[in-house]
Amino acid sequence: MSSPAQSMKAAEAILLIGPTGSGKTPLGSYIEEQGISGRRCHHFDFGLELRTIAGLNQPPHTFNLREHRFIRDVLEKGLLLEDEHFPIAEKILLNFLNSCGYQEPDLIILNGLPRHAGQARDMARLVNITHLLVLECTAGNACERIEKNTGGDRTLRTDDTEDMIRKKLEIFQGRTAPLLKYYADHGSTLLTLAVDASSTSETLFAGLVSPFIPRS
Domain annotation covers residue 194: yes
At residue 203, what is the residue type? T
Q: At 147, which CATH number?
A: 3.40.50.300
Q: Does the pLDDT value for residue 191 go beyond 50?
A: yes
Domain annotation covers residue 215: no
Lowest mean pLDDT among 12-16, 119-123, 149-153, 179-183: 149-153
Domain annotation covers residue 211: no
pLDDT tens, position by position, 37-90: 889 999 999 999 999 999 999 998 889 999 999 999 998 888 889 999 999 999
Domain annotation covers residue 93: yes
Contact 119, 113 (CB under 8 A): yes
Instruction: Find the mean pLDDT for residues 110-121.
Output: 95
Which of the two residues, 149 and 214, has the higher pLDDT score? 149
Contact 23, 202 (CB under 8 A): no
* Cα 11 off chain centre by: 15
Q: What's the whole-model pTM score?
A: 0.88
Domain annotation covers residue 137: yes
pLDDT the model gives residue 30:
96
> 17 pairs with which residues across the strands?
134
Distance CA 200, CA 26 (A): 8
Domain annotation covers residue 168: yes
Contact 129, 189 (CB under 8 A): no
Percent of the chain clearing pLDDT 90 (strictly above): 70
Domain annotation covers residue 102: yes
pLDDT tens, position by position, 75-113: 888 888 999 999 999 999 999 988 998 888 999 999 999
pLDDT the model gives residue 1:
39
Q: Does the pLDDT value for residue 132 go beyond 70?
A: yes
CA distances from 42 to 33, 36, 57, 188, 196 (A): 9, 11, 27, 19, 25
Beta strands in 94-194 (DSSP E): 107-111, 128-136, 189-194
Distance CA 181, CA 1 (A): 36
Q: What residues make up the domain containing 35?
A: 4-206
pLDDT tens, position by position, 195-204: 999 999 999 9
pLDDT tens, position by position, 146-188: 999 998 888 877 778 888 899 999 999 999 999 999 999 999 9
Which among 191, 183, 162, 120 is positioned nearest to 21, based on CA atoms?
162
pLDDT the model gives residue 10:
57
Domain annotation covers residue 155: yes
Measured over the CA atoms of residue 31, residue 34, residue 37 and residue 41, the dihedral's sign is positive
Report the DSSP pairing between strands 128-136 and 107-111: unpaired
pLDDT the model gives residue 9:
52
3-state secondary structure at position 63? coil
Contact 146, 165 (CB under 8 A): yes
Q: Indicate the number of domains in the chain.
A: 1
